[in-house]
Amino acid sequence: MELRVLRYFLAVAQEENITAAAEILHITQPTLSKQLKDLENELGSTLFIRGKRKITLTDDGMFLRKHAHEIIALADKTESAFRNKHEFVGGDIYIGGGETIAVRYIAKALNELLKFYPNIRYHFVSGDGNDITEQLDKGLIDFALFVGLMDLKKYDHIILPTTDTWGLLLRNDHSLAEHKTITPNDLIGLPVLHSRQAFSQNELSGWLGYSPDKLNIIGTHNLVYNESIMVKEGLGCAVTLDGLANTSSENGLCFRPFEPKITARLVVAWKKYQVFSKPAELFLKKLQENLRNYMD
């Protein structure tokens, strides 16, 4: 498969029309149709259902679309690294991570780096541990900011000098809002919106002291903003980390930490034996320098 043809395929998948895609790609419609047919023959699979006015993807087409995005993103990332290797220091840094106030360590390093190298660009992808691990393993990002329990055997990493605190996000008029802390017994029977990562990694099991089956989990989330709106609308209370949701008095929400306290460690990780682009290498050095200064 050629990258050029994969780009053609993605354009047609996006436009759902060969003529419209051909115009965007600045090629003729017959040329594009032939390239797509050759791609189907090469893969031995039908990728499109061709209607009179609209083209839709088959199951195989949807599978290819997902992987074509990943292939092209990795190719573009590699090309950018080589293009800038022998020129001025410029290029892209790709970072992924969960929601945490510890992203300030990333921001500080990037801010200082960009003052000296204004041609560097960074790209931050938010997601839970499973999402970010997949992208790191595929080489789509250079660094991952992990929150909580993660298997780090195949990564080099830095443990950040801080932790996040687990607790419950609730409305100010909720009866538990009067409590300073939330105990395991407080959660029994309570409609709970659970952090997807904490749920999948069973981070609260030891703290609970009883089977998680006793929890009334009505939904899960991987990013907090939308879930905070759910809580505000009275859908339930959300298990989350401190500092992520707007808990100002006018927003009507509050955060109460768990008791006994549960913390999540914070780690910046990258693949072992990783060969970095120059911008990524400089970012790591700046982050390590800042953390050394913080510890001194």
| Span of 153-162, 197-206, 231-240 with lowest mean pLDDT | 197-206
| Ramachandran assignment for 202, one of left (phi > 0), alpha (psi -120 to 50 degrees), beta (any other) | left
- Non-local (6+) Cβ contacts of 201 within 8 A are 129, 148, 149
Can you read off the two tokens belonging to residue 151? Answer: 């298997």
| Span of 26-30, 36-40, 73-77, 130-134 with lowest mean pLDDT | 73-77
Backbone angles phi, psi at 214, to 5 degrees: -75, -15
205 pLDDT band, cuts 50/70/90, is confident
- Non-local (6+) Cβ contacts of 76 within 8 A are none
Asked if residue 154 lies in contact with residue 287, where contact means CB atoms within 8 angstroms, the answer is no
Residue from 252, 262, 147, 156 nearest 207 by CA: 262
291 pLDDT band, cuts 50/70/90, is very high
**Average pLDDT over the chain, rounded to an integer:** 88
Q: Which residue has the tokens 């006994």?
A: 260
Q: Give mean pLDDT, residues 82-102.
A: 79
Q: Which residue has the tokens 């541990």?
A: 129
In the chain, what percentage of residues exceed pLDDT 90?
A: 45
pLDDT value at residue 73: 82
Q: Tell me how far apart the alpha carbons of residues 57 and 64 are, in angstroms, rounded to a whole number.
A: 10
Residue 84 has pLDDT above 60, yes or no: no
Query: In whole angstroms, how far apart are CA 157 and each of 145, 161, 178, 273?
Result: 10, 13, 40, 12
87 pLDDT band, cuts 50/70/90, is low
pLDDT value at residue 200: 60
Beta strand ranges found along the chain (DSSP E): 48-50, 55-57, 91-97, 120-126, 143-147, 155-171, 191-195, 216-221, 237-241, 253-257, 263-271
Q: Give mean pLDDT, residues 272-276.
A: 87
pLDDT value at residue 88: 54
Query: In whole angstroms, how far apart are CA 43 and each of 19, 38, 80?
Result: 23, 9, 29
Q: Tell me how far apart the alpha carbons of residues 50 and 55 are, in angstroms, rounded to a whole number.
A: 5
Q: Give mean pLDDT, residues 199-228.
A: 82
Q: Hey, what domains does the chain have and what are their CATH numbers?
A: 3-78 (1.10.10.10), 88-162+265-295 (3.40.190.10), 164-263 (3.40.190.10)
Residue 188 has pLDDT above 80, yes or no: yes
93: exposed, middle or buried (Cβ count in 10 Å: 0-12, 13-18, 19+): buried
169 pLDDT band, cuts 50/70/90, is very high
In the chain, what percentage of residues exceed pLDDT 70?
A: 94
13 pLDDT band, cuts 50/70/90, is confident
Residue 165 has pLDDT above 90, yes or no: yes
Instruction: Answer yes or no: pTM beyond 0.75.
Output: no
Asked if residue 279 lies in contact with residue 92, where contact means CB atoms within 8 angstroms, the answer is yes
Q: How many CB atoms lie within 10 A of CB 49?
A: 11
Handedness of CA 230, 231, 235, 236 (dihedral sign): positive
22: exposed, middle or buried (Cβ count in 10 Å: 0-12, 13-18, 19+): buried
pLDDT value at residue 32: 86
pLDDT value at residue 235: 92
296 pLDDT band, cuts 50/70/90, is low
| Span of 58-67, 77-86, 88-97, 260-269 with lowest mean pLDDT | 77-86
Q: Tell me how far apart the alpha carbons of residues 96 and 143 are, in angstroms, rounded to a whole number.
A: 6
- Higher-confidence residue: 65 or 81? 65
Asked if residue 48 lies in contact with residue 62, where contact means CB atoms within 8 angstroms, the answer is no
